Amino acid sequence: MGGVATVGSAAGVSKGSATRLFGMSDTQSASTEDAQEDGPHSGDYDPRASSLRGEVEQAVMDELLAVRGSIDNIDATLVYLLAERFKATQRVGHLKAVHRLPAGDPGREAAQIDRLRRLAEDAQLDPAFAEKFLNFIISEVIRHHEAISRSHAAKDA
């Protein structure tokens, strides 16, 4: 089986979401195909939604909206990255279920947390936050692995 696919190809990134993912301008990403304003599932998302409208000067609002454009790009990227990570961990879950291995691997987790804390320090991110975030994800992964293991055991019964 091949390795984990790249974020874009695996997630089926359209022109609209590529625009957001990689910060391209509309003209950079434009093609002769149908011009798509939004990504595949952005629905009626309003990037200008705010409770501050009318409360702040227009120039401040404009700057806020510009920065929020970057925040939206980053959030979209995070969703695709997390989706890709969960695809990989689901594969681990099936492997563990087939070979009757425990859902969690505390030794691996300790090494990951140690590494991520150091990476966070390098990146000027709060290491305690990085640890909490990883633990949050891992606990969800373990929940998935337990479910995979149960359904695998039920099939055998």
Ligand X SMILES: C=C(O[C@@H]1C=C(C(=O)O)C=C[C@H]1O)C(=O)O
The residue ranges that bind ligand X (CB under 6 A) are 89, 92, 104-105, 108-109, 112, 137-138, 141-142, 145
Q: Which long-range contacts (CB under 8 A, 24 or more apart) does 15-20 make?
A: 16/40, 16/42, 17/42, 17/76, 20/72, 20/73, 20/76
Q: Which ranges in 14-126 belong to alpha helices (H)?
A: 15-22, 26-29, 58-98, 106-122
Q: What does the alpha-carbon distance between residue 13 and residue 29 come to, in Å, rounded to a whole number?
A: 12
CB nearer to ligand X: give 20 or 145.
Answer: 145
Q: Closest distance between ligand X and the C-beta of residue 77, in Å? A: 19
Q: Closest distance between ligand X and the C-beta of residue 88, in Å? A: 8
CB nearer to ligand X: give 39 or 93.
Answer: 93
Q: What does the alpha-carbon distance between residue 68 and residue 99 come to, in Å, rounded to a whole number?
A: 46
Q: Which of 41, 35, 6, 33 is nearest to 22 (CA)?
A: 6
CB nearer to ligand X: give 7 or 142.
Answer: 142
CB nearer to ligand X: give 72 or 109.
Answer: 109
Q: Closest distance between ligand X and the C-beta of residue 119, in Å? A: 14
In this structure, which amino acid lies at residue 154?
Answer: A
Q: Closest distance between ligand X and the C-beta of residue 28, in Å? A: 35
CB nearer to ligand X: give 29 or 112.
Answer: 112
Q: Closest distance between ligand X and the C-beta of residue 86, in Å? A: 9
Q: Which of 79, 92, 108, 99 is nearest to 141 (CA)?
A: 92
